[in-house]
């Protein structure tokens, strides 16, 4: 299991020791000098040039995070090609390392700290991609709250585009990647390309003068659509009142994840009922259709074609697992007859995988969530971002984030300029409702984008677990 790491796991002591880089005199990549490095991967020696610690804006706010590491296969300096990619045509793989909407430093090609397997950047280099990993500000710093992280990632894109001629790789083939909060930002980078809302922020940072559209998006379990994520969560988990919460605690400078078991209070159950109901008109307002042209809706009880659509996705996931030889007989929410998955019961599924968050899952009425912190500002660390939780707030003097900022963080609010999307949401992920990524995929389908969406069997809240398939997809769209 590779959960988002880096900044989310970085303890306080490490963070205060991060280097503050000087502001750059210009944004010219030609002036960077790289160092030749190499690693072995499956018997292959991968040589590349590393250009690290590049501050990607002229007027940075926090250079502990606003920098980028760029890695270019050495072959492209020798006029060679890798798997038909050349210095001119190689796509640029742009993974962000954001987890938990925390600040993130730029990544490096290395073994994943948890799994010990090569990370996406290593695999990308071995397959001939130019790799650019950008750090970004995050919620725990007063200057890192929304929309800072997405503004930073856009500035990094502009840097790559402005330097297309000076740098190996094709900046018209930028493929973004991220998981969880980073998955939401990856999707937002795609849908909000060149959106004018971000322009003043980019100007203020002294971002390179270039467009910030990207070619393709890979997003794992995006914690997105935060305006509607509480409703979606209760539509999925309403009636499941036992929960197993993950509490992330900073114990003696070490991050510890504790599981806390509990039961929803009567107040939480009441809020759950209200949020579930609020999800129904939202779904019905979206005018979404499945591939057969059936409109996806919900009735007054929260049942209907939209729910059946998600049940279908779960059945497909289960069928693929069975076809690989997995035994799913313990999955009591599935009906399997002679090796065929013939039914999935969404309510039984929710009970089976279990509730992980209490109501409301994202806009905490006590301002206790990561997202409350995300939508704080420089003066106020935590805010509400939905009318519902504002109205039900238990915090005296609590305020609500300005609606424009909330709007700017949601990939669903933009008409996508990016054509290609690969979205994965683990079948048993309970960090956000399966409806969130499903809606994103359906909306992009409706905009005639090329969307590859699945709920991989047996996966929870994690990403980068299928790098072979990820880069097969990247190759297929880049050819
Ligand atoms: C992440 C997970 C969450 O459950 C959440 O609410 C926000 C972010 C994450 O892993 O990035």
User: What is the pLDDT, as a whole number, of residue 114?
Assistant: 81
Residue burial 21-40, b: 16+ Cβ < 10 Å; e: rest: eeebeebebeebeeeebebe
The CB of 149 under 6 Å from ligand 1? The reply is no
For ligand 1, atom 9, which residue shows the shortest CA distance?
Answer: 100
Q: How far is the CA of 295 from the centre of ligand 1 (A)?
A: 31
Ligand 1 centroid vs 231 CA: distance in angstroms? Answer: 17
Q: Which two tokens stand for residue 255?
A: 């991050």
C-alpha 359: how far from its chain's center?
A: 22
233 contacts: CB under 8 Å, gap ≥ 6: 275, 357, 359, 360, 361, 362, 432, 433
What spacing in Å lies between the alpha carbon of 97 and ligand 1's midpoint? 13
Ligand 1 proximity of 99 Cβ (cutoff 6 Å): yes
CB of residue 4 inside a 6 A radius of ligand 1: yes
376 CA → ligand 1 middle, Å? 16
341 Cα–ligand 1 center, Å: 31
Cβ–ligand 1 contact at 183 (below 6 Å)? no
CB atoms within 10 A of CB 41: 15
Task: Assess whether the C-beta atom of 100 lies below 6 angstroms from ligand 1.
Answer: yes
Token match 């609590």: residue?
Answer: 398
Among 426, 418, 414, 415, residue whose Cα is nearest residue 453: 426
Q: For residues 436, 442, 446 and 449, what is the CA-based torsion angle, rounded to 10 degrees?
A: 90
222 lines ligand 1 (CB under 6 A): no
Q: How far is the CA of 245 from the centre of ligand 1 (A)?
A: 13
Provide ipTM, 2 decimals. 0.99
Residue among 330, 286, 321 at smallest CA distance from 435:
286
**Could you please report the per-residue DSSP string of 148-199?**
HHHHHHHHHHHHHHHTTTTSSSEEEEEEEEEETHHHHHHHHHHHTTT-GGGH
Distance from residue 277's CA to the centre of ligand 1 (Å): 24
Q: Is residue 108 packed enough to be buried (19+ CB in 10 Å), middle (13-18) or exposed (0-12)?
A: middle
Site to substitute for ligand 1 among 247, 370, 464, most atoms within 8 A of C-beta: 370
User: Angle of helix 305-323 relative to helix 434-446, nearest 10 degrees?
Assistant: 100
**Does residue 134 line the site of ligand 1, with CB under 6 A?**
no
What is the C-alpha to C-alpha distance for residues 171 and 281, in angstroms, rounded to an integer?
41
Q: How far apart are the first and last CA of the chain?
A: 31
| pLDDT of res. 240 | 98
Q: Which of 51, 198, 67, 61 is nearest to 130 (CA)?
A: 51
Q: Rounded to the nearest 10 degrees, how much is the dihedral formed by the CA atoms of 105, 120, 370, 353?
A: -160
Sign of CA dihedral 399, 404, 409, 411: positive
Q: Please tell me if the CB atom of residue 175 comes closer than 6 angstroms to any atom of ligand 1.
A: no
What pLDDT, on the 0 to 100 scale, is given for residue 479?
85
Is any atom of ligand 1 closer than 6 Å to the C-beta of 370? yes
Give the model's pLDDT for residue 259.
Answer: 87
pLDDT in tens, the chain (479 residues): 334 444 444 444 455 678 999 999 999 999 999 999 999 999 999 999 999 999 999 999 999 999 999 999 999 999 999 999 999 999 999 999 999 999 999 999 999 988 899 999 999 999 999 999 999 999 999 999 999 999 999 999 999 999 999 999 999 999 999 999 999 999 999 999 999 999 999 999 999 999 999 999 999 999 999 999 999 999 999 999 999 998 776 666 666 778 899 999 999 999 999 999 999 999 999 999 999 999 999 999 999 999 999 999 999 999 999 999 999 999 999 999 999 999 999 999 999 999 999 999 999 999 999 999 999 999 999 999 999 999 999 999 999 999 999 999 999 999 999 999 999 999 999 999 999 999 999 999 999 999 999 999 999 999 999 999 999 999 999 98
CA-362 nearest atom, ligand 1:
6
146: Cβ contacts below 8 Å, ≥ 6 apart: 139, 374, 375, 401, 405, 406, 408, 409
Q: What is the pLDDT of residue 226?
A: 98
pLDDT the model gives residue 8: 44
- Output the CA 2–ligand 1 centroid distance in Å: 14
Q: Is 431 in the pocket of ligand 1 (CB under 6 A)?
A: yes
pTM to 2 decimal places: 0.96
Could you tell me the distance, in angstroms and rounded to a whole number, from the CA of residue 185 to the centre of ligand 1? 12
Ligand 1 within 6 A of 181 CB?
yes
CA of 239 to the centre of ligand 1 (A): 23
């Amino acid at each position: 299991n590779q959960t988002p790491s880096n900044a989310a796991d970085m303890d306080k002591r490490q963070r205060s020791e991060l280097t503050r880089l000087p502001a750059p005199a210009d944004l010219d990549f030609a002036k960077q000098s790289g160092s030749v490095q190499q690693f072995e991967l499956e018997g292959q020696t991968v040589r590349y040039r590393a250009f690290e610690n590049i501050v990607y804006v002229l007027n940075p706010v926090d250079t502990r995070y606003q920098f980028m590491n760029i890695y270019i296969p050495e072959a492209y300096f020798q006029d060679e090609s890798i798997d038909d990619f050349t210095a001119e045509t190689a796509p640029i793989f742009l993974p962000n390392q954001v987890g938990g909407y925390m600040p993130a430093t730029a990544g490096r090609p290395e073994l994943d700290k948890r799994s010990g397997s090569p990370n996406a950047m290593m695999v990308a280099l071995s397959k001939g991609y130019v790799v650019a990993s950008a750090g970004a500000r995050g919620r725990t710093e007063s200057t890192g709250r929304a929309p800072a992280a997405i503004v930073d990632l856009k500035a990094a894109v502009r840097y790559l585009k402005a330097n297309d001629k000076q740098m190996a790789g094709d900046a018209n083939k930028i493929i973004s990647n991220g998981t969880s909060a980073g998955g939401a930002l990856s999707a937002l980078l795609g849908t909000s390309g060149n959106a004018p809302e971000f322009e003043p922020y980019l100007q203020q940072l002294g971002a390179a003068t270039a467009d910030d559209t990207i070619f393709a998006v890979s997003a794992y379990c995006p914690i997105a659509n935060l305006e509607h994520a509480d409703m979606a969560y209760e539509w999925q988990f309403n009636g499941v009142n036992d929960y197993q919460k993950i509490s992330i605690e900073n114990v003696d400078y070490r991050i510890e994840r504790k599981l806390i078991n509990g039961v929803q209070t009567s107040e939480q159950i009441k809020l759950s009922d209200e949020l579930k109901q609020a999800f129904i008109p939202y779904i019905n307002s979206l005018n979404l259709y499945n591939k057969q042209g059936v409109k996806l809706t919900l009735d007054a009880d929260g049942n209907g074609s939209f729910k059946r659509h998600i049940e279908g996705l779960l059945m497909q996931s289960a069928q693929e697992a069975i076809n690989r030889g997995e035994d799913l007989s313990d999955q009591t929410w599935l009906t399997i007859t002679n090796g065929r998955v013939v039914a999935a019961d969404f309510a039984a599924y929710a009970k089976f995988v279990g509730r992980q968050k209490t109501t409301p899952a994202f806009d905490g009425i006590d301002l206790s969530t990561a997202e409350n912190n995300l939508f704080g500002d420089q003066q106020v660390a935590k805010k509400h971002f939905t009318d519902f939780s504002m109205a039900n707030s238990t915090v005296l003097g609590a305020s609500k984030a300005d609606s424009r900022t909330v709007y700017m963080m949601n990939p669903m609010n933009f008409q996508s300029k990016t054509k290609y999307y690969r979205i994965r949401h683990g079948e048993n992920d309970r960090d956000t409702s399966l409806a969130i990524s499903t809606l994103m995929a359906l909306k992009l389908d409706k905009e005639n984008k090329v969307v590859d969406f699945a709920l991989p069997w047996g996966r929870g809240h994690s990403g980068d677990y299928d790098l072979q398939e990820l880069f097969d997809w990247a190759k297929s769209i880049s050819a």
